[in-house]
Amino acid sequence: MSDDVRKYHQSGTRGTWVQTERAGHEAWAQLIHHAPRAAQLLHVLVANMDERGALVASQATLSKLTGVSVATTKRALAELIKGQWIQTIRIGGERGGTLAYVVNSRIAWADSRENLKLARFTARVLISSEDQADLGGEPLQQVPALAPGELQLPAGEGGKPPAQESLEGMLPDLPSLPNPAAQ
């Protein structure tokens, strides 16, 4: 596996195995002879699909992962669709939408066979930074959160409760923390 492909792989939660049948391997061998770029792309799709066999990725990202042009990737996808190796599901409109690629579960799967009958649809989304116009330079607003077992320590002056004044002799339950970025 190339370093470019490896860095797109997601960590931990994704399983590390897929299953195939011998007949699928024999057909895949014929695909390698007939349409090698389509067979190569199918390997990338299978390696990155979720447990339901689905992957959402741009054609530019898929072309980068296979090391071929976008035009070659489009031809390979057309070959895979024509041969019923994969199907596509449109997300959004004809223009501005994207495609989810779903690998034929008779070829490769990553979950128990019983679960393949379920209609639930999820997908692994694979995005390249080159596909993004602007990832934003400013950090996102962060909201303080407590982990189980942690206690909040009062700090700063705090704000007034939104609905009523504090009751005499009682401290507010959730004091505010100063925002260091605002100082």
Q: Where are the domains positioned within the chain? A: 21-130
Of 36-45, 70-79, 138-147, the least confident:
138-147
Written as six digits, the tokens of 82 are: 């024509």
Residue 173 has a CB neighbour count (10 Å cut-off) of: 8
Task: Please measure the distance between the N-terminal and C-terminal CA atoms of the chain and give it in whole angstroms.
Answer: 49
pLDDT digits 0-9 by tens, 154-169: 677 776 656 656 667 7
Q: Is the pLDDT of residue 1 over 50?
A: no
- Could you please report the per-residue DSSP string of 115-134? GGG------EEE--GGG-S-
Q: Is the pTM of this model over 0.75?
A: no
How is domain 21-130 classified at the CATH fold level? Arc Repressor Mutant, subunit A (1.10.10)
Please tell me whether residue 108 adopts helix, strand or coil conformation: strand
Q: Which residues contact 67 (CB under 8 A, 6 or more apart)?
A: 2, 4
